[in-house]
Amino acid sequence: MSKRDYYEVLGVAREATDQQIKSAYRKLALKNHPDRNPGDREAEERFKEAAEAYAILADKDKRSLYDRFGHAGVAGVGAGAGFDPSVFVGFEDIFGSLGDLFGFGDIFGGRRRRAGPQRGSDLRYDLEISFEESADGTETALQIPREETCETCKGSGAAAGSAPEVCGQCRGTGQLRFQQGFLTVARPCSNCRGTGKVINRPCQACRGAGRVGRERKVTVKIPAGIANGQQLRLYGEGEHGTAGGPPGDLYVVIHVQEHPLFQRDGDDLYCEIPVTFPTLALGGTIEVPTLKGHEPIDVPSGTQPGSRFRLRGKGMPNVSGRGHGDLYVIARAAVPKKLTREQKHLLEELARTMPQERVEATSADGQEKPFFEKVKDIFG
């Protein structure tokens, strides 16, 4: 049977970046790893297929050969017939410890796979909240699917009245050793999958896995001032461990919706407000929006478009509870799209009394200069 395209196996485009390839492989490997799918031959084959694809596409030179010549270009260079992910050494940057995952720490300096209690996996939940919820804080309930200890067998995986027995193939070590060239290689025992024990009478509720999939309702308190991309860690709310190991943690990653008026920079907020020309020229009081309603501010006469007004303490609360940021209001000139006949007449009168060439601007030395003279000074 012909091999599938490696890019198709990982579900990425041919122009995918190294990070995208790594991320896609990690998801497939975690989903189909034999430890999470005991006895599932199809999952095991998908795991090996993904590992083979990653071995080629994660290597710059091998990927180049594969892109040019396909499977024929990488035959005999780490992929193809006989490829075994359990002796592939390129996974450490993804899974952390090769010894923990594949059981050959004796060779590469990692730790051996432990047959005892194992910590459960961490989980991630992406939560979208409104801008107002990020400012005020909120509380929400999440439904989290996770692997929990089987209550029927208490996590042993064995049926009632029985218990796991020492594996006769590896004699409880969880590893088998053999010579590969001048090296002595240790691999996880295929009979007990590296645990050192076998279950002859598996629990019917969990089918010998010791864990079952359930949904748990978790209440999350989101503090006021939390920013987009920040995460909350809920200790012990991840997947349950195996053999009595501790549970993992749940990470809730916050995604804050954009606000139609405010833009956030740290704990400060920025807001652009249209101001009419008469108010900019003559001065006056305007109402500006804040997180808690409207506030009046005084606009001095002669205010230029782009001027900023600072409202202390009207920004976002600090997520650690240390006060609030400030709100900066930026004045923008409001130009009406339609004018009444009277308004147009008044503006024409104003224009006659203020010829363009007489409009003045302040130079760097503090002297008032006509605007077009200033342009002439700059451009010649």
Written as one string, the DSSP assignment of 21-70 is HHHHHHHHHHHH-TTTSTT-HHHHHHHHHHHHHHHHHTSHHHHHHHHHHG
User: Looking at beta carbons, which pairs linking 176-182 to residues 24 or more positions away fall under 8 Å?
Assistant: 180/87
Q: Which of 75, 95, 115 is the last residue of a domain?
A: 95
Task: Please indicate, yes or no, whether residues 329 and 348 belong to a single structural domain of this protein.
Answer: no
Q: Which of 44, 76, 95 is the last residue of a domain?
A: 95
Q: What are phi and psi of 133, to 5 degrees?
A: -65, -35
Task: Please indicate, yes or no, whether residues 86 and 2 belong to a single structural domain of this protein.
Answer: yes
* Among candidate residues 372, 269, 286, the one with its CA nearest the CA of residue 332: 286
Let me know if residue 82 belongs to a domain.
Answer: yes
Let me know if residue 280 belongs to a domain.
Answer: yes
Return d(Cα 380, Cα 375) in angstroms, integer: 8
Give the model's pLDDT for residue 77. 54
Task: Please indicate, yes or no, whether residues 67 and 43 belong to a single structural domain of this protein.
Answer: yes
Give the model's pLDDT for residue 154. 86
Burial-class residue 107 by CB neighbours within 10 Å (0-12, 13-18, 19+). middle
Give the model's pLDDT for residue 135. 96
Return the exposure string of 286-308: e unless at least 16 CB atoms fall within 10 Å of the residue's CB, then b.
bebebbeeeeeeebeeebeeeee
Give the model's pLDDT for residue 30. 86
Q: Which residue type is seen at 364?
A: A
Task: Please indicate, yes or no, whether residues 263 and 350 belong to a single structural domain of this protein.
Answer: no
Return d(Cα 141, Cα 234) in angstroms, integer: 13
Q: Which of 61, 95, 129 is the last residue of a domain?
A: 95
Let me know if residue 227 belongs to a domain.
Answer: no
Instruction: For residue 83, count other CB atoms closer than 10 A to its CB.
Output: 15
Task: Please indicate, yes or no, whether residues 291 and 351 belong to a single structural domain of this protein.
Answer: no
Number of domains in the chain: 3
* pLDDT values of the chain reduced to their tens digit, one per residue, 380 residues: 567 889 999 999 988 999 899 989 988 988 888 777 877 888 888 888 998 889 899 888 888 888 877 777 677 554 443 333 333 333 333 343 334 334 344 333 334 444 567 888 899 999 999 999 999 999 999 999 998 999 888 888 889 888 888 988 888 888 888 765 556 677 888 888 777 888 889 999 988 888 888 899 999 999 999 999 999 999 999 999 887 788 999 999 999 999 999 999 999 999 999 999 999 999 999 999 999 999 999 999 999 999 999 999 999 999 988 899 999 999 999 988 899 999 899 888 888 887 664 445 444 454 555 544 544 454 44
Return d(Cα 304, Cα 249) in angstroms, integer: 53
Give the β-pairing of 231-234 and 268-276. Answer: unpaired
Domain that holds residue 350: 343-380
Task: Please indicate, yes or no, whether residues 377 and 307 belong to a single structural domain of this protein.
Answer: no
Task: Please indicate, yes or no, whether residues 357 and 294 belong to a single structural domain of this protein.
Answer: no
Angle of CA points 54, 119, 89, to nearest 5°: 25
Let me know if residue 301 belongs to a domain.
Answer: yes
Residue 283's CATH number: 2.60.260.20
Let me know if residue 269 belongs to a domain.
Answer: yes
Per-residue pLDDT of 281-327, as tens digits, reads: 999 999 999 999 999 999 999 999 999 999 999 999 999 888 999 99
3-state secondary structure of 85: helix
Let me know if residue 80 belongs to a domain.
Answer: yes
Task: Please indicate, yes or no, whether residues 284 and 302 belong to a single structural domain of this protein.
Answer: yes
Task: Please indicate, yes or no, whether residues 353 and 369 belong to a single structural domain of this protein.
Answer: yes
Give every CB contact of residue 171 below 8 A, 6+ residues apart in sequence: none
Let me know if residue 67 belongs to a domain.
Answer: yes
Give the model's pLDDT for residue 230. 93
Return d(Cα 271, Cα 328) in angstroms, integer: 6
Residue 48's CATH number: 1.10.287.110
Task: Please indicate, yes or no, whether residues 280 and 358 belong to a single structural domain of this protein.
Answer: no
Yes or no: say if 131 and 259 are a contact pair by the CB < 8 Å rule.
yes
* Among candidate residues 274, 327, 285, 332, the one with its CA nearest the CA of residue 304: 332
Task: Please indicate, yes or no, whether residues 77 and 19 belong to a single structural domain of this protein.
Answer: yes
Give every CB contact of residue 74 below 8 A, 6+ residues apart in sequence: 56, 62, 65, 66, 80
CA max distance for the chain? 104
Written as one string, the DSSP assignment of 123-148 is EEEEEEE-HHHHHH-EEEEEEEEEEE
Yes or no: say if 195 and 208 are a contact pair by the CB < 8 Å rule.
no
Return d(Cα 276, Cα 284) in angstroms, integer: 10
Task: Please indicate, yes or no, whether residues 323 and 349 belong to a single structural domain of this protein.
Answer: no
Element (H, E) at 215: strand 211-222
Give the model's pLDDT for residue 250. 93
Give the model's pLDDT for residue 197. 85
Q: Which residue type is seen at 218?
A: V
Let me know if residue 47 belongs to a domain.
Answer: yes
Burial-class residue 69 by CB neighbours within 10 Å (0-12, 13-18, 19+). exposed
Return d(Cα 73, Cα 361) in angstroms, integer: 70
Yes or no: say if 332 and 272 are a contact pair by the CB < 8 Å rule.
yes
